[in-house]
A and B are shown apart, each in its own frame.
Chain A
Amino acid sequence: MDINAKIVSDMVANDISFVTTVPCKQLAGVIDAVEASPDIYHIPANKEDEGMGLCAGAFMGGKRPAIIMQNTAIGVTINTLVTLTQFYRMPLPMLISYRGELGEPVACQVEMAVHTKALLAQLNIPTYHFHREEDVEELDKILKYTFMCNKPVAILTDATFWKGY
């Protein structure tokens, strides 16, 4: 199974049926796979905080949500993560492309990469980092953990994991 199919199949196996996305080049394949899945309602968002609002509503409506976004979005969503997702204690798996890591061709992406883990740590968000392809084997457990503890959980996926750009 290719990596995108594996990610979507783990999502579906964990009853995730509502996924919002803001694209990143690295995430194009997984976003296509989400769009193609008959078990998932895919709702592209214009900004990641908007997407987190959609996910909060879907969760309260009885669906398990997820968001797919780039690490630059951590800067956009801090207020929403703190005053909505965490304050009301809602689960939210965040599949995040970790731009600005080894192999990155765009210098500006490094500027956010150096803050990504520090910001997530400051927010007390459980954070996993997929670097090798086999790291994806933990996704199923991470999703179960997220819906067990009702917290936002970050899964950072870097260029080595995606095998380049």
Chain B
Amino acid sequence: MIRSDVLRELAPTLADHLVICNIGLPSQELHLIDDRATNFYMLGTMGLASSIGLGLALAQDKKVISIDGDGSVLTNFGTLPTIANNVADNFILLIIDNGSYGSTGDQPTYAGKKTSLAAVASACGCETVVECSAEDTVQAVKDAIASDKMTIIVSKCESGNIKVPVITMDPVSIRDRFMGAVKA
């Protein structure tokens, strides 16, 4: 399974929750599969999906799921200690780890080599860290939602992309629509 397969299977589970989606193909794929007001698409700023999600989770009570990538977590490694030390039990960080920088042409990341993001998250102090296969991701996310415990999920999937159009929505419209859904 590649990332778009994971997102397609996951979409019904995400539907009731606030989602902060990573820059590039992950946002484009989620937008294509199931565009919702509860989705915040990042059009720029690699690496900050987890930070935005944590800030959102700390600021209000609804469940927040940040969909991040291995490359993006590597670029903002400082996020993991911040998450560990500022526990928000309404926050789930789903790292879709395909071992590559998917949006830029599948160049390999260190997460696909020696570096275990799950081990790093644990070492940073994150208390609930789950590594799972792409096939088991929906169940892992459902379990995390049901647990009411801040959870980091590392979903190991295959590298690869589908053809998707870019998002042409205006950023202020994305943000305004999302804030309406946060308040609803």
CB of A23 within 8 Å of the partner chain: no
CB of B4 within 8 Å of the partner chain: no
The interface size of chain A toward B, counting residues with CB under 8 Å, comes to 32
Distance in Å: Cβ of A17 to nearest Cβ of chain B: 8
Q: A54 to chain B: which residues have CB within 8 Å?
A: 51-52, 54-55, 58, 82
CB of A83 within 8 Å of the partner chain: yes
A 12-42 to B, binary, CB cutoff 8 A, 1 in contact else 0: 0000001000000000000000000000010
Q: A83 to chain B: which residues have CB within 8 Å?
A: 43-45
Q: B56 to chain A: which residues have CB within 8 Å?
A: 57-58, 60-61
Given contacts A57-B55, A62-B59, contact A84 B45 (CB under 8 A): yes
Main secondary structure on B side of the interface with A: helix
- Among the 9-residue stretches B100-108, B137-145, B169-177, the one with 4 or more Cβ atoms under 8 Å from chain A is B169-177
Distance in Å: Cβ of A58 to nearest Cβ of chain B: 4
Q: Are B55 and A61 in contact (CB under 8 A)?
A: yes
Given contacts A43-B86, A89-B172, contact A53 B51 (CB under 8 A): yes
Q: Are B78 and A53 in contact (CB under 8 A)?
A: no
Report the Cα distance A61→B52, complex, angstroms: 10
Interface residues in chain A, defined as those with a beta carbon under 8 Å from any beta carbon in chain B: 18, 41, 43-47, 49-63, 65, 79-80, 82-84, 87-90
